[in-house]
Amino acid sequence: MAARILDGRRVADQILAEVAAGARRLESEHGVRPGIAVILVGDDPASQVYVANKERTATALGFLSRKLVLPASTTQEALLSLLGELNRERAIHGILVQSPLPRHIDERAVVLAIDPAKDVDGFHPLNVGKLLIGERDGFLPCTPWGVVELLARSGFDPAGRHAVIVGRSNIVGKPLAALLMQKAPGADATVTVCHSRTHDLAAHTQRADLLIAALGRPRAITAEMVKPGAVVVDVGINRVPDPAAKGGQRLVGDVDFAAVAEVASAITPVPGGVGPMTIAMLMRNTLRAARRAAGLPADEAP
């Protein structure tokens, strides 16, 4: 069996085209231009790449895009003060602070300092709580939402299926489980969440109709762990040594892609799978925030 490739770049481009059109309508009809501020503290190389991608995408969509790069020595008090200013700035509708932060900064305090109405990452407890109880007027976290949207636009309906998520992080595993178990279109799955303390992990993954790997270990999911015909979504992004690659490293996922692709019915690649979806959903959240600021429903009527 040769698995169908779930092309996250193609689906993300569709979503970004929709966001761009929505942003043009919002500005022409209501005079509101979506604005996003992305803050980077320190000089982590991977974070610099992620922030640059977000800034470039926002600018291409016609958003007001503001990148704020702060030294690693920035105090927590200074960062919280900056967030307070951005919370009050009317031209900024979305605020994102790139992780990881320097060790002396409390990430929880930073998340709590962002106005929930501008929390386009979907990490504030108010938005997380709304997700858990099934209210859609908050902001959904971008990577889990991107997974659900990628599946929906690729024709996979999780309803009644057994979804197994490997990983229980607050960023991916937990919110994705909440999304997939909702009584809603694109959900209604039976969800099992596995993690580092799960006994006999393969016994769980082998029963999955939908297997989602988000554990942060390169190629940890092997072909023997996958049910024939399963849909496999790889959220992992790992850098591994490769002398033949530029810079001596290349990106791989949490799934042994080549081997699993011979067993699964569909699979996401790394790169080019979930990653582009995350940025697309961030931009969609920013447009939703701008519409709300204009006194409009977050989403346009179909």
Q: What is the pLDDT of residues 194-227, one digit of tens each?
A: 999 999 999 999 999 999 999 999 999 999 999 9
Which residue's entry shows tokens 């604005």? 35
Distance CA 281, CA 298 (A): 14
Q: Are 63 and 23 a contacting pair, CB within 8 Å?
A: yes
CA angle 3, 9, 10 (to 5 degrees): 80
Which residues are catalytically annotated?
54, 98, 121
For residue 95, the cross-strand partners are 37
pLDDT in tens, 43-66: 988 899 899 999 999 999 999 999
pLDDT tens sequence across 218-274:
999 999 999 999 999 999 999 999 888 888 888 899 999 999 999 999 999 999 999
| Helices (runs of H) and strands (runs of E) counted in the chain | 10, 11
Which of these, 54, 49, 69, 57, lies nearest to 251 by C-alpha position? 49
- Buried/exposed 70-105: b ≥16 CB within 10 Å, e otherwise: beeebebeebbebbeebeeeeebbbbbbbeebbeeb
**Distance, CA of 54 to CA of 60 (rounded, Å):** 10
pLDDT tens for each residue of 140-170 = 999 999 999 999 999 999 999 999 999 999 9
Nearest in space to 293 (alpha carbons), one of 146, 144, 120: 120
- CATH class of the domain defined by 31-115: alpha beta
d(CA 56, CA 45) in angstroms, rounded, equals 17
Rounded Cα distance between 20 and 2, Å, is: 35
Decide whether 31-115 matches 142-276 in CATH topology.
yes
Alpha-carbon gap, residue 252 to 271, rounded angstroms: 7
CA 93 – CA 64 distance, rounded (Å) = 10
Q: Residue ranges per domain, the chain?
A: 31-115, 142-276
Which tokens go with 145?
């939402």
* Nearest in space to 120 (alpha carbons), one of 152, 84, 145, 100: 145
What architecture does CATH give domain 142-276?
3-Layer(aba) Sandwich (3.40)
Compute CA distances 20 → 83, 95, 171, 254, 286, whole Å.
Answer: 26, 19, 26, 32, 11
